[in-house]
Structure 1
């Protein structure tokens, strides 16, 4: 189990610095701290599991994964995860990044709230998913040493993260609650609007235009 945060590689290339600047410009302290913790937890798991992953692509994925919650990148009709993925794609096309690498980042961001799928894809996709799960819900909490947990939080404080992130989710998606159909963010809408009723999967089947 890794106990020293200095053993985790944090890339500092121009593309990383540009991505950090973009997050500073359009995000906020909550998303900044969360995104960096996500990277560090994801990278820690990658090192502990001895995975061969691209640190730069994982970090970029972490920096962009919640940008779809911001006014700058939020669409009117897409899931916020897709908005963040599209923002990353637009950003990466101006750099010397291959289409395959861009697609990898897109998948990592778009799938970061999709359990049962993301953890079975490429390492960068899985590690972003695990990093998000650790920081938001404490998934696999005890697989991270106390030293690492304390060091990450000291560097990027949580403050009142539990309540703040739920509110941030809601503020980012409340104008398009229909995009939460079939995914966990419907729970966020229900938290603030208990009366809200989304589509029902069985009703969609039974009320389709098919005769049987």
Structure 2
């Protein structure tokens, strides 16, 4: 896999501590070049948002959360019954616990990963959680695109290319949970299933209410 390992991009320092390097190696071992570039862009966009809005945060934790945030899509970390976001969050928590980090830091990283697709909640959580959510939204949907300078966008995308991202990201998402589409109930990944599966019928909240065992 050909990837860029650079220490400073768009004025942002990319963590290179031992734990950060080990997290990166896990992504390189079990992910793809496509996911690596996406994850690094997420970290950089998140960090630029923090810089612009003067948000105090732990850069190392934000980096590790960014690196792990889509690892739940990979064969190594994908479970048979959990949301891919939870798989990634669990993997990151186990990794950090193995390095002796305190429970509060484990919880922050777990929340950042588990909630990174949860619209309307993640942005109101702690700095690291909200920041990574903002970076994911920027890279995937272009949320806040105008707030990043042309110069910084160009530098980031040159070093960590999008490589036909719009066409590849939806099938990439789907490949990580096509064996457990029921886990998309109640979250935005149901849209991915509807896009990828002809005549996909997703579980409906109102049907759950109306067909519950209660008499009234």
TM range (shorter): over 0.9
Q: CA deviation at 1:196?
A: 1.3
Residue 48 in structure 1 maps to residue 48 in structure 2: no
The separation in 2 between residues aligned to 1:103 and 1:204, in whole angstroms, is 31
Give the Cα separation in 2 of the matches to 1:178 and 1:96: 35
Question: Partners of 1:48 and 1:9 in 2: how far apart?
Answer: 15
| Cα offset, 1:5, TM superposition | 4.1
- Asked if 1:64 corresponds to 2:44, the answer is no
Which residue number corresponds to residue 177 of structure 1?
A: 181
Give the unaligned 5+ runs of structure 2: 1-7
Give, in whole Å, the separation in 2 of the partners of 1:168 and 1:28: 10
Structure 1 residue ranges, 4+ long, deviating more than 2 angstroms after superposition = 4-7
Q: Secondary structure at the match of 2:158?
A: helix
1:25 aligns with one of 10, 26, 29? 29
Quote the Cα distance in structure 2 between the aligned partners of 1:60 and 1:103: 13
1:91 aligns with 2:82: no
- Rounded to whole Å, the distance in 1 between the matches of 2:10 and 2:164 is 26
CA distance in 2 between counterparts of 1:72 and 1:128 reads 23
Following the alignment from structure 2 to structure 1, what is the Cα–Cα distance between the partners of residues 167 and 71? 18
Match of 2:3 in 1: none
Residues 98-141 of structure 1, C-alpha deviations (whole Å, 9 max, x = no match)? 10000100000000000100000001000100000000010111
Q: CA RMSD in A?
A: 1.0
Match of residue 119, structure 2, among 108, 115, 120: 115
Between the aligned partners of 2:179 and 2:11, the Cα distance in structure 1 is 42
Residue 6 of structure 1, CA deviation: 4.3
- Report the counterpart of residue 197 of structure 1 in structure 2: 201
Aligned residue number for residue 164 of structure 2? 160
